[in-house]
Chains A and B, each alone.
Chain A
């Protein structure tokens, strides 16, 4: 299999396991997967193919696919910004993915705020902090997030403090 087919198969399998759906328009989806691979090749990380990435991982952290804005866009529009991830209705052909406005804040500190708002304000009385994998939602109660998500293999920097 080609790199594109391999990555597509992995994304598709991860999506199904975690309750997400890839765009059923396979030509469209394959082109997005090629975009992710192109970004991995030139930046070392899979930045969103539909946004202008900086190339620096720290700058791009919020738009490494799946981006911080995926779930909110799925809730509001039935698709992520690229329409790589879509709602069940779109996956089943009952609705069509349309272009949507980019909710990524222009300012860096607002991107941080978006992430922190998602992460919650923290609960007291817990023996350990709880970390949430932004890619698949896996929760880990420990002092530090795991180096690699045991569920989806996302790296440590994709975790946020959840509680």
Chain B
């Protein structure tokens, strides 16, 4: 599975599940970049078949609604949607 990696300050594992066409996803990705933290992201809409199914199972574990953006911090906290304050608080 090809996660794109963005370098930055290591605040633990941050994974962003996003859609390539979704503007809220783009804003979230931009926000993380601006915060300067290290994270990885994947555009789920660009995956096909079993690869997509397997990633969607991971998304569903954290966010049963399977909506985007879904962000998982340190394998313990999930933030759904572009929630600036929540993200900033979680990454303090």
Whether, in the assembled complex, A16 has its beta carbon less than 8 Å from a beta carbon of chain B, the answer is: no
Our pick among B21, B44, B81 for the contact of A35 (Cβ within 8 Å) is B21
Which A residues contact B (CB, under 8 angstroms)?
28, 31-32, 34-36, 38-39, 49-53, 82-83, 99-102, 106
Interface class of chain B by DSSP:
loop
Closest 4 CB pairs of A and B: A35-B21, A49-B21, A99-B81, A50-B22
Taking a contact as CB atoms under 8 Å apart, the answer to whether B45 and A31 are in contact is no
Shortest C-beta distance, B50 to chain A (Å), equals 15
B46 to chain A minimum Cβ distance, whole angstroms, is 10
- Which residues of B are in contact with A by a Cβ distance under 8 Å? 19-26, 44-45, 56, 64-68, 81-83
> Is A52 within 8 A of B23, CB to CB?
no
Residues of A within 8 A of B66 (CB): 52, 106
Which chain B residue has the least Cβ–Cβ distance from A36? B21
List the A side residues contacting B23 at CB < 8 Å: 28, 31-32, 35, 49-50, 82-83
Are A99 and B21 interface neighbours, CB within 8 A? no
From A35, A100, A101, contact of B22 by CB (8 A)? A35
Most interface-central of A32, A49, A106 (chain B CB within 10 A): A49
